[in-house]
Structure 1
Amino acid sequence: MFTLTCIGVGNMGGAVARRLVTGEFDVTVYDPDEAAMDRCVESGATKASSFEEAVRSGDVVLTSLPTTALVLDTVEKIAAELPEGRTVVDISTIDPGTARRAATICEEHGLDFVACALGKTPAHAEQGAIPLFVGGAPDVLDALEPLFERMGEKTYRFDDVEGATAFKLVSNQIGMTNVVTLAEGLAVARGAGISPELFTEALKDTGAVSFQSEVRLPWMLEHDWSSRFGVDLAAKDVGLALDTARAQGLDTPVSTAALEQLRKSSAQGSGREDVVAVAKLYAEGSEG
């Protein structure tokens, strides 16, 4: 079994690291946040004392980072430390262009690169109940199959790193636009005098039911803004999806409107709260 290093163990990266270490993988973690590393150590991971130590200890290095710039910067640093023949697996949400640049950096240093985008929430990831959207060389993906089997319940293989990352962006574009629409619909229902309980139950029996209504609507109703996937991250991902669409010459007015609402929510102080906090925009007395 190969050794793993996880660089970036925040909400999603940490959940993945803890899932892997309880599956008998030898996992080393590194993150600037000591508390994030400590949560992984409690599950059995080894805490590296430095970035360089972490990278050199892994046959496979997983990266989970919040921005495309940080992904590229980190991949550059990994490539300078990691011996040839090893593999970098990025589980961040990035755009196809960034994925290709990261793959090129790795290729120039004799390393393999795999884009491995993840679906659902950190809670699902910690249980291995997530889909994986992977792209890379077929032989490298074959070698990583034990890793994928432990990380998630189903792996979808795309032709290349661009396809895997583009799909993830489209998924988040649809999902986060759905969250904004759900918040608007809830506000309209409340204005019509429909109780939250009836709204929830009746919605389940319609074509409007979705993963977001099943998972996030209860948080929305309870005003539970605890961050699982923050407003700022949602805005970042939708923005990357729309950049990808523009590069294809596509107009996306509905998702663009949703992005405006996410940015407005962030501007009102909810950037680090869960994306369901966009519902605050529709609270009584607020501008919608």
Structure 2
Amino acid sequence: MTLGFIGTGTMGGPLARNLIRAGKTVLVYNRTPHKVDAVLAAGTTGRRAAAFADFAVCDVVFTCLALPEHVTQAALGPDGVYAFLRPGSVHIELSTIDPATAHALADAAAQHGVAYVQCTLGKTPAHAEKAEEPLFIGGDPQTVERVSPLFPLIGVPNFVGTIDAACAVKLISNLIGMANLAVLAEGLRLGEAAGLAPADLLPLLADTGARSFQMDVRGPWMAASDYAPRFALALALKDVRLGCEMARSWGLSPQLMEAALAFFRRADAEGRGAEDCAAVYECLRRQEATAP
């Protein structure tokens, strides 16, 4: 079996390396050549793809890209990878995208005789490097079964049923997580108003119902004004936006999550998109400092 991998950035690179470490023949493509070099260093079974036409020999092609439009550009059009994949091959889509985009891709793939599987990712690049990434997998059951031996090589498979469900699990996760992060930022500012420095308040909250993943991980970064981009604010904004759009398309009104969306939009507009999403804390501080 020959595999293809498009997009070897922060998340895609570790997953592609895992496939090579497992001895799979993998054609690797990324617009930034040095990111391909980092993947090919993982073993002898990886090869560089110069263009999407090279993927014509692949049985399965993975994509792992930052934005839905990046996936669409890579797949569709006269020079997209679907134009070169042979009938019977499979596209496994790993990016965080919305259900509408996923269905458009699945429909276009079917027109080329290509099967489509959505497989969104649940944790961090560190988990991906160790093949411990939760995988939320949806699509045609027979197709999923056909490619199922590949999933344990890159992560921990969770078969959730439909394409909608596979997209939704990741978006719901990030909606809840980022809304929680916004509330945490407000809570820390409230503590400061009471005379409690964030570094002093966080240990006190850790033994209460306020404790959360975001508090444990990003709370100390907020307290230290450490905004190195582990998960960039611009990407968090994208995920919250897609999640809210998904909810509205299904006739729901995610009011609290819409409030978080406005919060992240404001932080991005202030130029914090390249920083870690924890930088929403600084956005709140600045807003309060400039309030009349």
Q: TM-score, normalised by structure 2?
A: 0.90
Q: Which amino acid aligns with 1:48?
A: A
Which residue does 1:50 correspond to in 2?
A: 51
Would you say 1:82 and 2:82 are equivalent positions?
A: no
Segments of 5+ residues of structure 2 without an aligned counterpart are none
Give matches, 1:245-260, under 5 Å. Answer: 245-260=247-262
Which residue does 2:147 correspond to in 1?
A: 144
SS of residue paired to 2:209: coil
| Change beyond 3 A, Cα 1:254–1:57 | same
Residue 199 of structure 2 contacts residue 223 of structure 2 at CA under 8 Å; is this kept in 1?
no
> Distance in 2 between the 1:90 and 1:287 partners?
44
Q: 1:214 aligns with which of 213, 216, 224?
A: 216
CA deviation profile, 1:36-92 (whole Å, cap 9, x unmatched):
222212223432222322x23432111112222222222221111011111101011
| Change beyond 3 A, Cα 1:18–1:184 | farther
SS of residue paired to 1:132: strand
Greater shift, 81-90 or 270-279, is seen at 270-279
Segments of 5+ residues of structure 1 without an aligned counterpart are none
> Distance in 2 between the 1:287 and 1:252 partners?
29
Residue 230 of structure 1 contacts residue 275 of structure 1 at CA under 8 Å; is this kept in 2?
yes
Give matches, 1:239-278, under 5 Å. Answer: 239-278=241-280
Residue 179 of structure 2 contacts residue 257 of structure 2 at CA under 8 Å; is this kept in 1?
yes
Give matches, 1:1-288, under 5 Å. Answer: 2-44=1-43, 45-53=46-54, 55-76=55-76, 77-153=80-156, 155-283=157-285, 286-287=289-290
Q: Which amino acid aligns with 2:231?
A: F
| Change beyond 3 A, Cα 1:194–1:26 | farther
Q: How many percent of aligned residue pairs carry the same amino acid?
A: 40
CA deviation profile, 1:218-260 (whole Å, cap 9, x unmatched):
3333333222321111111111111111122222221111111
CA RMSD of aligned residues (A): 2.0
Deviation at 1:147, TM superposition (A): 1.7
| Change beyond 3 A, Cα 1:287–1:140 | farther
Residue 11 of structure 1 contacts residue 228 of structure 1 at CA under 8 Å; is this kept in 2?
no
Q: Which amino acid aligns with 2:135?
A: L
Deviation at 1:205, TM superposition (A): 2.0
> Distance in 2 between the 1:109 and 1:140 partners?
15
